Chain A
Amino acid sequence: MLNSNTSSQRRNETLLLWLLRGLALISGAIILLILFFLIWEAIPLFQQVGLSRFFTDPSWHPASNEFNLTPMLAGTLLVTAASVLIATPLGILSAVFCHYYTPPAIAQLYRRLIELLAGIPSVVYGFWGLVVLVPLINRIHPPGPSLLAGTLILTLMILPTIALVSDASLASVAPEYIKGAAALGLGRWAMIRGVVLPAARSGLITGVILETGRAIGETMAVLMVCGNVVQVPHSLFDPVRTLTANIALEMAYAVDNHRAALFVSGLVLMGLIALLVAIAELLNRGQYD
């Protein structure tokens, strides 16, 4: 931290510092508020029903006092993992395309296109998926609404995140690296694979973390195309229900225990996110953030 301030400037800077700290504290406190709220709503059920029942009950039928969350947890994990696996290479390669394989004009056009993808409401994705994609999949293998449909739609939705963040981080790779690679006679792809991608690693990881978080939290679109059947899927064409779709589907009509159970599933989602954050911490250890 370089400090060249005179004593009169130091006062102003302290003011600025405390202002910034206040703002940061507010930003950081929001998640605590949310957690508090979730726990507050879920506690009545925890007191009645033990923790293990959420994983060992026969199925999810809150009206009949059964609260097994495992099938939906599996649904969330599978849909997220599959879509991240597909979207990440697509997104990173898109960013590589913009930087190294095309003139700037086309790159800008492509970037605008991707930014557009980012702004389409999840409802429109879901609607399109329901009306176009699901009947297509139905023709291949009934019933149509399935893990596959959810994966494809979710991939489209999280692609902009990884693509745009990768784009920004590729832009920040020092030009000296590029020049050095050219001087060494590396071909374009070899340079990208060996020099650029490793140099942009922290940004790329940021992108993956952001897109995974987005995938875990997506509600509307998966609600419309995944089929919402509470089961652990045995094939790509089986319908699944994610934790988020479960909350959206049933919250409107849930009372008492059922409602508290939905908040418990909200907490499970937060647990997944916490796990994701921990992994991100591990990966970024030592990186100057």
Chain B
Amino acid sequence: MTKFIAFPVRRPTSKAPFRSSELGAIALVWSVVLLVTGALLWLLGDIFWHGMGQVSWEFLTTEPLNAGREGGIAPILVSTGLIIGVCMAVSIPLGVGTAVLLAEFTSTESWLGRFVRLSLDALAGVPSIVFGLFGNAFFCKTLGLGFSILSGGLTLACMVLPILIRSTQEGFRAVPDDYRRSAAALGLSRTATLWELLLPAAMPGLVVGLLLGLGRAIAETAALIFTSGYVDRMPESLLDSGRALSVHIFDLAMNVSGGESHAYASALVLVTVLVLINGMVAWLAEWFRKSRILGV
């Protein structure tokens, strides 16, 4: 019985006698890991240290007062959630659809495949501030959405799309051709193969893309200042202007004197939210994979 291993496990390695190059490699790899971990813990430790004292239930459920120096961040959390919701709702169908087309249905040298691939590569490199200006001109002004959560979400979707598509594509590439052949042999239609077999099997790639994209979306500041705006009131519809968490952190850290402690606290909340979302997405993906492929 062969199990499809989507997440890596320890690979079999040779038991040959230790060579010096092996020791050197181990030392190198471990020092890299320790360096990276050290830097991250330093950064996180700083955020934790300065922000921990401020975070409380009240902080999470009240409105900001005194330009954000006091009070809480409840409306901002809601706005951020809505913006991300819009972003994901738009980018996932668009992204997965495009990735499926590129990976399964089009030869890469066809004009459509080439065009989409190149334009996505270019899109991945557009600076966040240019997205902000573009989003402002296109979504806010031309489409008449004004400063709104919708504009912000749509702009973020544009930013997140390339990462999502690239990663999902890689996920599809990783699925062995045997799957496709077996499905064809069994007489499954292409649509059924896609939905029942390939998509779940490509889940790891999709998940990585989603997480990277989500991380980028949550962390985005410059694009959101110009599209979803600055208003820290509780939004009542998607067309309302709403301040995202990262914009709030920026304002408190850089614009409002004395806002640092709340900036740190907001950053701590943001990092925690990210951890939770990451965990949820990973769990969802694993469940989806299990239910489809292993029939659990």
A binding-site residues for B, Cβ under 8 Å: 1-6, 9, 12-13, 16-17, 19-21, 23-34, 37-38, 89-90, 93-94, 96-101, 103-104, 107, 110, 112-125, 127-128, 132, 156, 159-161, 164-165, 167-172, 175, 178-179, 181-182, 185-192, 203, 206, 209-210, 212-214, 216-220, 224, 243-244, 247-248, 251, 266, 269-270, 272-274, 276-277, 280-281, 288-289
Contacts and interface: CB of A to CB of B under 8 A. Distances in A.
A251 B102 contact: no
Interface of B: 5-14, 16, 18-19, 21-22, 24-26, 28-30, 32-33, 35-37, 39-40, 42-44, 46-47, 93-95, 97-98, 100-102, 105, 108, 112, 115-131, 133-134, 137-138, 158, 161-163, 165-167, 169-171, 173-174, 180-181, 184-185, 187-191, 204-205, 208, 211-212, 214-216, 218-222, 245-246, 249-250, 253-254, 263, 267, 270-271, 274-275, 278
B170 A169 contact: yes
A267 B189 CA distance: 45
16 contacts: A20-B100, A25-B116, A27-B95, A34-B134, A118-B215, A120-B219, A123-B250, A156-B43, A182-B13, A187-B18, A188-B13, A190-B21, A217-B128, A247-B130, A266-B133, A273-B121
A104 B11 CA distance: 10
B97 A19 contact: yes
A107 B29 CA distance: 13
Given A13-B190, A116-B278, A167-B208, 5 more contacts: A120-B270, A121-B218, A188-B22, A189-B25, A209-B121
Interface of B is mostly: helix
B208 A218 contact: no
Tell me if A's interface is mostly helix, strand, loop or mixed: helix
A186 B246 CA distance: 48
Given A17-B105, A20-B101, A24-B101, A178 B130 contact: no
Contacts of B215: 115, 118-119, 160
A269 B127 contact: yes
Given A3-B190, A37-B138, A277-B122, A104 B8 contact: yes
Contacts, number: 328
A4 B187 contact: yes
B129 A206 contact: no
Given A94-B36, A160-B212, A172 B173 contact: yes
A218 to B, nearest CB: 7
B33 A175 contact: no
Contact of A273 (B18, B97, B125): B125
A116 B8 contact: no
Nearest to B208: A168
Given A93-B29, A118-B211, A99 B11 contact: yes
A212 to B, nearest CB: 8
Nearest to B195: A16
Given A101-B29, A115-B278, A161-B212, A31 B123 contact: yes
A116 B271 contact: yes
Given A121-B267, A124-B47, A34 B22 contact: no
